[in-house]
Amino acid sequence: MNLEETISSIESCATIDELRLVLQQIAGRYGFAGFNFLDIGRAGDQKPFYFGTSGKQWESDYVANNFVEVDPCLHIARTSNLPFRWDQLQLPRHKTGRKSGAIKTMEAAMDHGFTDGIVIPHHFVDKNANTYSALVVFFWKDPISKLIFKLKEQHAYLHIIVIYWINRLIYLKSMQDEREPLKPSGPKYPSTLLTDRETDALSWAARGKTNSETAEILSVSDQTIEFHIRNASRKLSATNKTQAVAIALTLGLILI
Protein backbone atom coordinates (compact mmCIF):
# COMPACT_ATOMS: atom_id res chain seq x y z
CA MET A 1 0.00 0.00 0.00
CA ASN A 2 1.50 3.35 -1.05
CA LEU A 3 1.31 6.62 0.87
CA GLU A 4 -1.80 7.91 -0.90
CA GLU A 5 -3.66 4.64 -0.32
CA THR A 6 -2.63 4.66 3.33
CA ILE A 7 -3.86 8.23 3.81
CA SER A 8 -7.11 7.33 2.06
CA SER A 9 -7.64 4.41 4.45
CA ILE A 10 -7.15 6.78 7.39
CA GLU A 11 -9.52 9.40 6.07
CA SER A 12 -12.21 6.78 5.37
CA CYS A 13 -12.38 5.77 9.05
CA ALA A 14 -15.77 6.61 10.53
CA THR A 15 -15.06 5.67 14.16
CA ILE A 16 -12.16 5.82 16.58
CA ASP A 17 -12.12 2.01 16.78
CA GLU A 18 -11.64 1.85 13.00
CA LEU A 19 -8.85 4.40 13.30
CA ARG A 20 -7.16 2.30 16.00
CA LEU A 21 -7.31 -0.79 13.77
CA VAL A 22 -5.89 1.04 10.75
CA LEU A 23 -2.89 2.42 12.64
CA GLN A 24 -2.22 -0.98 14.20
CA GLN A 25 -2.17 -2.48 10.72
CA ILE A 26 0.25 0.22 9.60
CA ALA A 27 2.40 -0.36 12.69
CA GLY A 28 2.44 -4.08 11.91
CA ARG A 29 3.66 -3.45 8.36
CA TYR A 30 6.63 -1.59 9.81
CA GLY A 31 7.27 -4.37 12.31
CA PHE A 32 6.06 -2.60 15.46
CA ALA A 33 4.33 -4.52 18.24
CA GLY A 34 1.79 -1.78 18.92
CA PHE A 35 1.26 1.94 19.41
CA ASN A 36 -0.14 4.48 21.86
CA PHE A 37 -1.59 7.93 21.30
CA LEU A 38 -1.20 10.41 24.14
CA ASP A 39 -2.47 13.93 24.66
CA ILE A 40 0.51 15.86 26.04
CA GLY A 41 -0.97 19.33 25.85
CA ARG A 42 -0.58 20.16 29.51
CA ALA A 43 2.29 19.08 31.71
CA GLY A 44 1.11 17.82 35.09
CA ASP A 45 -2.18 16.49 33.73
CA GLN A 46 -2.42 13.12 35.48
CA LYS A 47 -5.28 11.86 33.31
CA PRO A 48 -4.59 12.84 29.72
CA PHE A 49 -6.58 11.27 26.92
CA TYR A 50 -4.77 8.24 25.52
CA PHE A 51 -5.43 4.93 23.81
CA GLY A 52 -3.60 2.39 21.71
CA THR A 53 -2.58 -1.22 21.27
CA SER A 54 0.48 -1.55 23.51
CA GLY A 55 -1.34 -3.98 25.82
CA LYS A 56 -3.31 -3.64 29.06
CA GLN A 57 -0.38 -4.73 31.24
CA TRP A 58 1.88 -1.92 30.02
CA GLU A 59 -0.93 0.64 30.18
CA SER A 60 -1.82 -0.42 33.74
CA ASP A 61 1.82 -0.27 34.82
CA TYR A 62 2.24 3.16 33.20
CA VAL A 63 -0.81 4.55 34.99
CA ALA A 64 -0.16 2.84 38.35
CA ASN A 65 3.37 4.24 38.53
CA ASN A 66 2.27 7.67 37.31
CA PHE A 67 4.93 7.57 34.60
CA VAL A 68 3.13 10.39 32.80
CA GLU A 69 4.86 12.81 35.20
CA VAL A 70 8.39 11.47 34.66
CA ASP A 71 8.40 9.96 31.17
CA PRO A 72 11.41 11.56 29.42
CA CYS A 73 9.75 11.15 26.03
CA LEU A 74 6.94 13.55 26.97
CA HIS A 75 9.32 16.37 27.88
CA ILE A 76 11.08 16.13 24.53
CA ALA A 77 7.84 15.76 22.57
CA ARG A 78 6.38 18.92 24.12
CA THR A 79 9.30 20.97 22.81
CA SER A 80 10.06 19.25 19.51
CA ASN A 81 8.40 18.56 16.17
CA LEU A 82 10.83 15.84 15.13
CA PRO A 83 10.46 12.06 15.64
CA PHE A 84 13.01 10.41 17.90
CA ARG A 85 13.87 6.93 19.12
CA TRP A 86 14.16 5.82 22.72
CA ASP A 87 17.80 4.90 22.26
CA GLN A 88 18.48 8.56 21.43
CA LEU A 89 17.32 9.70 24.88
CA GLN A 90 19.95 11.15 27.18
CA LEU A 91 18.93 9.66 30.52
CA PRO A 92 20.51 10.85 33.78
CA ARG A 93 23.31 8.61 35.00
CA HIS A 94 22.46 6.43 37.96
CA LYS A 95 25.22 5.85 40.50
CA THR A 96 23.73 5.19 43.93
CA GLY A 97 20.50 5.89 45.74
CA ARG A 98 17.06 6.09 44.19
CA LYS A 99 16.71 5.86 40.43
CA SER A 100 15.20 8.80 38.58
CA GLY A 101 11.66 8.56 37.27
CA ALA A 102 12.98 8.73 33.71
CA ILE A 103 15.16 5.64 34.24
CA LYS A 104 12.32 3.78 35.98
CA THR A 105 10.00 4.52 33.07
CA MET A 106 12.36 3.19 30.43
CA GLU A 107 13.35 0.17 32.53
CA ALA A 108 9.67 -0.68 32.98
CA ALA A 109 9.21 -0.53 29.21
CA MET A 110 12.11 -2.94 28.80
CA ASP A 111 10.53 -5.26 31.38
CA HIS A 112 7.46 -5.42 29.17
CA GLY A 113 9.57 -6.57 26.23
CA PHE A 114 9.94 -3.27 24.41
CA THR A 115 13.53 -2.96 23.22
CA ASP A 116 13.00 0.44 21.61
CA GLY A 117 10.34 2.77 20.30
CA ILE A 118 9.87 5.74 18.05
CA VAL A 119 8.03 8.82 19.28
CA ILE A 120 6.33 11.14 16.78
CA PRO A 121 5.18 14.46 18.29
CA HIS A 122 2.52 16.55 16.61
CA HIS A 123 1.59 20.15 17.47
CA PHE A 124 -1.56 21.26 15.72
CA VAL A 125 -4.55 23.59 15.72
CA ASP A 126 -8.29 22.92 15.61
CA LYS A 127 -10.97 24.63 13.54
CA ASN A 128 -11.23 27.33 16.23
CA ALA A 129 -7.48 27.99 15.97
CA ASN A 130 -6.64 26.55 19.42
CA THR A 131 -3.20 24.93 19.62
CA TYR A 132 -2.70 21.36 20.88
CA SER A 133 0.11 18.88 21.42
CA ALA A 134 0.03 15.11 21.17
CA LEU A 135 2.23 12.17 20.24
CA VAL A 136 2.11 8.67 18.88
CA VAL A 137 4.69 6.17 20.13
CA PHE A 138 5.33 2.92 18.28
CA PHE A 139 6.67 0.03 20.35
CA TRP A 140 9.47 -2.22 19.07
CA LYS A 141 10.38 -5.70 20.37
CA ASP A 142 13.14 -6.82 18.01
CA PRO A 143 16.83 -5.81 18.06
CA ILE A 144 17.36 -2.05 17.75
CA SER A 145 19.52 -2.50 14.65
CA LYS A 146 16.48 -3.80 12.76
CA LEU A 147 14.47 -0.72 13.71
CA ILE A 148 17.20 1.66 12.55
CA PHE A 149 17.43 -0.18 9.22
CA LYS A 150 13.64 -0.22 8.82
CA LEU A 151 13.34 3.53 9.39
CA LYS A 152 16.38 4.56 7.37
CA GLU A 153 14.35 5.50 4.30
CA GLN A 154 10.77 5.30 5.57
CA HIS A 155 10.67 7.49 8.69
CA ALA A 156 9.39 10.49 6.72
CA TYR A 157 6.41 8.48 5.44
CA LEU A 158 5.59 7.31 8.96
CA HIS A 159 5.73 10.92 10.18
CA ILE A 160 3.27 12.08 7.50
CA ILE A 161 0.97 9.13 8.22
CA VAL A 162 0.83 10.03 11.92
CA ILE A 163 -0.02 13.64 11.13
CA TYR A 164 -3.00 12.58 9.01
CA TRP A 165 -4.01 9.98 11.58
CA ILE A 166 -4.01 12.43 14.50
CA ASN A 167 -5.94 15.01 12.49
CA ARG A 168 -8.56 12.36 11.69
CA LEU A 169 -8.66 11.31 15.34
CA ILE A 170 -9.31 14.87 16.50
CA TYR A 171 -12.09 15.24 13.93
CA LEU A 172 -13.80 11.99 14.98
CA LYS A 173 -13.31 12.78 18.63
CA SER A 174 -14.98 16.16 18.24
CA MET A 175 -17.90 14.49 16.45
CA GLN A 176 -18.33 11.55 18.83
CA ASP A 177 -17.12 13.14 22.07
CA GLU A 178 -16.29 9.72 23.54
CA ARG A 179 -14.20 11.14 26.38
CA GLU A 180 -13.09 14.46 27.72
CA PRO A 181 -11.88 16.60 24.81
CA LEU A 182 -8.22 17.37 24.37
CA LYS A 183 -7.12 20.49 26.19
CA PRO A 184 -5.52 23.43 24.38
CA SER A 185 -1.82 23.74 25.13
CA GLY A 186 -1.48 27.33 24.04
CA PRO A 187 -3.22 30.47 22.76
CA LYS A 188 -5.25 30.61 19.59
CA TYR A 189 -3.28 30.40 16.39
CA PRO A 190 -3.32 33.61 14.32
CA SER A 191 -5.30 33.47 11.09
CA THR A 192 -2.96 33.33 8.09
CA LEU A 193 -3.35 33.62 4.34
CA LEU A 194 -1.01 31.85 1.94
CA THR A 195 -0.35 32.83 -1.64
CA ASP A 196 -1.55 30.53 -4.42
CA ARG A 197 1.98 29.26 -5.05
CA GLU A 198 2.58 28.64 -1.33
CA THR A 199 -0.68 26.73 -1.19
CA ASP A 200 0.29 24.67 -4.25
CA ALA A 201 3.72 23.86 -2.81
CA LEU A 202 2.28 22.71 0.52
CA SER A 203 -0.54 20.78 -1.16
CA TRP A 204 1.91 18.71 -3.19
CA ALA A 205 4.11 18.26 -0.11
CA ALA A 206 1.06 16.90 1.71
CA ARG A 207 0.76 14.30 -1.04
CA GLY A 208 4.29 13.14 -0.33
CA LYS A 209 6.00 14.90 -3.22
CA THR A 210 9.57 16.14 -2.82
CA ASN A 211 10.52 19.72 -3.69
CA SER A 212 12.03 18.51 -6.98
CA GLU A 213 8.90 16.57 -7.91
CA THR A 214 6.71 19.56 -7.04
CA ALA A 215 8.94 21.83 -9.12
CA GLU A 216 8.51 19.55 -12.11
CA ILE A 217 4.73 19.39 -11.66
CA LEU A 218 4.42 23.19 -11.41
CA SER A 219 7.06 23.83 -14.10
CA VAL A 220 9.26 25.97 -11.87
CA SER A 221 12.73 25.59 -10.38
CA ASP A 222 13.58 23.68 -7.22
CA GLN A 223 14.73 26.95 -5.68
CA THR A 224 11.33 28.51 -6.31
CA ILE A 225 9.56 25.70 -4.47
CA GLU A 226 12.02 25.96 -1.60
CA PHE A 227 11.32 29.70 -1.47
CA HIS A 228 7.54 29.16 -1.26
CA ILE A 229 7.92 26.44 1.38
CA ARG A 230 10.12 28.71 3.50
CA ASN A 231 7.65 31.58 3.24
CA ALA A 232 4.69 29.37 4.07
CA SER A 233 6.53 27.87 7.05
CA ARG A 234 7.39 31.33 8.33
CA LYS A 235 3.78 32.52 8.05
CA LEU A 236 2.58 29.42 9.89
CA SER A 237 5.32 29.61 12.55
CA ALA A 238 6.41 26.11 11.52
CA THR A 239 9.95 24.89 12.02
CA ASN A 240 9.91 22.49 9.06
CA LYS A 241 7.91 21.51 5.98
CA THR A 242 6.12 18.64 7.66
CA GLN A 243 4.82 20.86 10.44
CA ALA A 244 3.78 23.52 7.93
CA VAL A 245 1.76 20.91 6.04
CA ALA A 246 0.09 19.74 9.26
CA ILE A 247 -0.88 23.27 10.31
CA ALA A 248 -2.16 24.18 6.84
CA LEU A 249 -4.25 20.99 6.70
CA THR A 250 -5.79 21.58 10.09
CA LEU A 251 -6.61 25.22 9.29
CA GLY A 252 -8.16 24.16 5.98
CA LEU A 253 -5.68 26.22 3.99
CA ILE A 254 -4.84 23.25 1.75
CA LEU A 255 -6.73 20.16 0.62
CA ILE A 256 -5.61 16.72 -0.49
The pLDDT value recorded for residue 129 is 63
Contact criterion met (CB below 8 Å) for 58 and 196: no
Considering the domain architecture, whether residues 73 and 43 belong to the same structural domain is answered as: yes
Q: What is the pLDDT of residue 58?
A: 94
Same domain, 175 and 203: no
Give the CATH number, domain containing residue 203: 1.10.10.10
Final residue in a domain of this structure, among 140, 169, 186: 186
Residues contacting residue 51 through CB under 8 Å, at least 6 positions apart? 16, 20, 36, 37
Distance CA 151, CA 256 (A): 25
Task: Flag whether 8 is in a domain.
Answer: yes
- Specify the CATH number for the domain of residue 119: 3.30.450.80
In this structure, the answer to whether residues 92 and 48 fall within a common structural domain is yes
Q: Of 155, 186, 217, at which residue does a domain stop? A: 186
Instruction: Look at residue 179 in the predicted model and tell me its pLDDT.
Output: 47
- Whether 75 and 157 map to the same domain: the answer is yes
Q: Is 117 helix (H, G, I), strand (E, B) or coil?
A: strand
Residues of the domain holding 244? 192-251
Regions in the chain scoring below 50 on pLDDT = 178-179, 187, 191
- Do 115 and 208 fall into the same domain? no
**Is 256 domain-assigned?**
no
Residue 80 resides in a domain: yes
* Total count of domains within the chain: 2
Domain-terminating residue out of 167, 186, 205: 186
pLDDT at 180: 54
pLDDT for 151: 76
